[in-house]
Amino acid sequence: MSESSAQPAGITQQDMVHRLPQAQLVDRVDFLVDAARNNKVVHVGFVDSGCWEYHNQFDSWLHAHLDSVASELVGLDLDSAGVERAREMGFAAHAVDCSDSEAVAALGLEPMDVAIAGEIIEHLDDSGSFLDGLHSLVRPGGTLIVTTPNASGLLNAGAAALANYEVNHPDHVTLYSCYTLTNLLERHGWSVDGVATYVPTLKEFKALKGKMKILGAGAQAVLGTEKLLAKLGRPFSADGLIVVARRPD
């Protein structure tokens, strides 16, 4: 950035450097299941559209795992077909746009102990309104947990630098770092309590073929490096980010 570039008054380039907080590398599913245990939970974006067959194959549908431990569980999602399917399976679920605070309030749900927004915020055009809409779902002093791909993770940087590829879900529109996500949460009335990271699992490696097999092997190596770096005190090299926030009393 040149000295002549426009900047807000009083901000220097030094202000753009942020010390990362203490964080542990965790297993994402175990972390969320532990947070849900014996609590009333609302799971936002629970359907995970387009991934039914994948989850059936690997027993990886998070909502089912949360249901096994939560004292009460409600799922919210925009995917009306997925919501209807969940209802047929016996789950409490509603089709709603959580970016619409009025629509969320109109559901009349009792505020829960914990709201889990897992792997959804990176899909949203208006993430600020989404975080605003979650306030009525969480009791005062209750917890919001957001999980999302980490913009500082090594996998995408390595794929771009070494192979000219980018690794992203087809529906993703943004990536968050620790600073940008915690900053966004605090702007929208949430008090950040802690941060963790996780390394995703490449479950379909055995099914890859040809060039994708080679790329998959490279990805496995990078993910292993992320775990090693976390043990050496560099957890933010991991490709997954978890932020735990609280609704103020």
- pLDDT tens, 144-187? 999 999 999 999 888 888 888 888 888 999 999 999 999 999 99
Domain boundaries, the chain: 20-151+165-199+238-246
Please answer whether residues 237 and 226 qualify as being in contact, where contact means their C-beta atoms are separated by less than 8 angstroms. yes
Beta-strand pair 240-246/112-118: unpaired
Mean pLDDT, residues 60-76: 96
- pLDDT tens, 117-140? 999 999 999 999 999 999 999 999
pLDDT at 163: 82
Nearest to 243 by CA among 69, 26, 83: 26
**Which residues, in sequence order, are bridge partners of residue 228?**
none
- pLDDT tens, 82-106? 999 999 999 999 999 999 999 999 9
pLDDT at 181: 98
Which class is 20-151+165-199+238-246 in CATH? Answer: alpha beta
- CA dihedral of 247, 27, 224, 158, whole degrees rounded to 10: -30
Please answer whether residues 66 and 147 qualify as being in contact, where contact means their C-beta atoms are separated by less than 8 angstroms. no
208: confidence class by pLDDT, cuts 50, 70, 90: low
Please answer whether residues 117 and 145 qualify as being in contact, where contact means their C-beta atoms are separated by less than 8 angstroms. yes
